[in-house]
C-alpha cells in the first residue's frame, strides 16, 4: 500500500463516452501527477499539479482534462477518446514536487477504448 | 533533459547477484541518481537514491564512481519476485518527473 489510491482499476469505454479517473493520496503531499504508460513503452508524463495549480502540461490532447480540487485529490476527465489512448494511467504524488523527492505511485487504471 | 542509458533487458538465475548499470555522461553537479522498480500493471516503486559513493538499504545497493558518469544498482540474491522493470533516473530541476525506458529484468528458476 503506497498511500495513493486510484479508481477504477479497470475501465472499458467507447469512443463517445465520458468517464473520469480518480486518484486520492493520504500522504499529506502537495504535488500530484498523471502519467500514461502504453504497452511496452516508457511512462509519459501528462500533468503535474503543485498546491492544486497545474505547473506542467506535456502537450496532452484536450480530450484529457485534469482537475485538482484539493491537494489530496486528482481527477482525469476523459471524453471522445481514441483506441490509441488505451493504456495504464498512473497517478503519483510527492511532498512538494521538488528535486530528490520520492514519487509514490498508485496501482493505476487500465483503460481500454473500444 | 539529462539522459540516461541502460540495457533494455537482462536475465538472471535465482539466487544470483544482479548488477544493472546506467550511464549518465552528462550528469550535472546537483543531480541525484534514483532507481525505481515496476511490476506489470502497477506503478513504479522507489528503490534507492544516491549522490556519490555507495548507498545500501534493505533492498539494494547503489554504487556511484567518483566521476558520477554511471551508476550500478546491485540486487543481492534475486528471486522470481524480483522480475520487473528497473528505471534509472537523474533528478534535477526540470527533470525530476521523467522516466526513461528502463531495464526489464527476468529472473529464471
Residue B2 pLDDT grade (very low, low, confident, very high; cuts 50, 70, 90): low
Q: What order do you get walking across the sheet with B84-91 strand by strand?
A: B9-13, B103-108, B84-91, B32-38, B45-50
Tell whether the model's pLDDT for residue B89 goes beyond 80: yes
Q: Which residues of A touch B41 (CB under 8 A)?
A: 88, 107-108, 110
Q: Which residues of B touch A48 (CB under 8 A)?
A: 97
pLDDT digits (tens, 9 = 90+) for A29-59: 999 999 999 987 888 999 999 887 887 777 8
What is the reported pLDDT for A99?
82
Answer whether B44 sits within 8 Å of A102, measured CB to CB: no
- Low-confidence stretches of chain A (pLDDT beneath 50): none
Strand A109-113 and strand A10-13: pairing? parallel
Mean pLDDT of B65-92: 94
When the pLDDT of each residue in chain A is averaged and rounded to a whole number, the result is 92
Interface of A with B in 66-95 (CB under 8 A): 88, 90-92
| Residue range B26-60, pLDDT digits in tens | 888 888 899 999 998 889 999 999 999 899 999 99
pLDDT for residue A56: 73
**What contacts A8, CB < 8 A, 6 or more positions away?**
A21, A109
Split at pLDDT 50, 70, 90, the class of B64 is: very high
| Closest residue in chain B to residue A104, using alpha carbons only | B45
Inter-chain residue contact A42 with B102, CB threshold 8 Å? yes
Q: What percent of chain B has pLDDT over 90?
A: 72
> What grid cell was written down for B47?
528503490
- Nearest residue of B to residue A40 by CA position? B101
Greater confidence, B92 or B30?
B30
CB atoms B49 and A102 under 8 Å = yes
Q: ∠ at Cα A11 (A10, A16), nearest 5°?
A: 170
Amino acid at each position: 500500500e503506497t498511500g495513493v489510491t486510484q479508481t477504477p482499476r479497470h475501465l472499458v469505454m467507447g469512443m463517445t463516452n465520458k468517464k473520469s479517473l480518480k486518484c486520492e493520496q493520504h500522504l499529506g503531499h502537495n504535488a500530484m501527477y498523471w502519467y500514461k504508460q502504453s504497452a511496452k513503452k516508457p511512462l509519459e508524463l501528462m500533468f503535474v499539479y503543485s498546491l492544486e495549480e497545474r505547473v506542467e502540461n506535456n502537450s496532452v490532447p484536450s480530450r484529457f482534462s485534469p482537475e485538482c480540487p484539493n491537494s489530496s485529490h486528482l481527477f482525469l476527465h476523459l471524453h471522445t477518446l481514441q483506441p490509441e489512448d488505451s493504456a495504464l494511467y498512473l497517478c503519483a504524488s510527492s511532498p512538494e514536487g521538488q528535486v530528490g523527492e520520492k514519487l509514490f505511485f498508485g496501482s493505476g487504471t487500465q483503460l481500454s477504448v473500444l | 533533459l539529462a539522459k540516461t542509458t541502460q540495457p533494455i533487458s537482462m536475465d538472471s538465475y535465482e539466487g544470483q547477484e544482479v548488477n544493472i548499470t546506467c550511464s549518465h555522461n552528462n550528469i550535472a553537479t546537483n543531480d541525484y541518481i534514483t532507481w525505481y522498480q515496476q511490476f506489470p500493471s502497477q506503478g513504479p516503486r522507489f528503490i534507492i537514491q544516491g549522490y556519490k559513493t555507495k548507498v545500501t538499504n534493505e533492498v539494494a545497493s547503489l554504487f556511484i564512481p567518483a566521476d558520477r558518469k554511471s551508476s550500478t544498482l546491485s540486487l543481492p540474491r534475486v528471486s522470481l519476485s524480483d522480475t520487473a522493470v528497473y528505471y534509472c533516473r537523474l533528478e534535477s530541476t526540470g527533470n525530476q518527473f521523467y522516466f526513461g525506458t528502463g531495464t526489464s529484468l527476468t529472473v529464471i528458476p
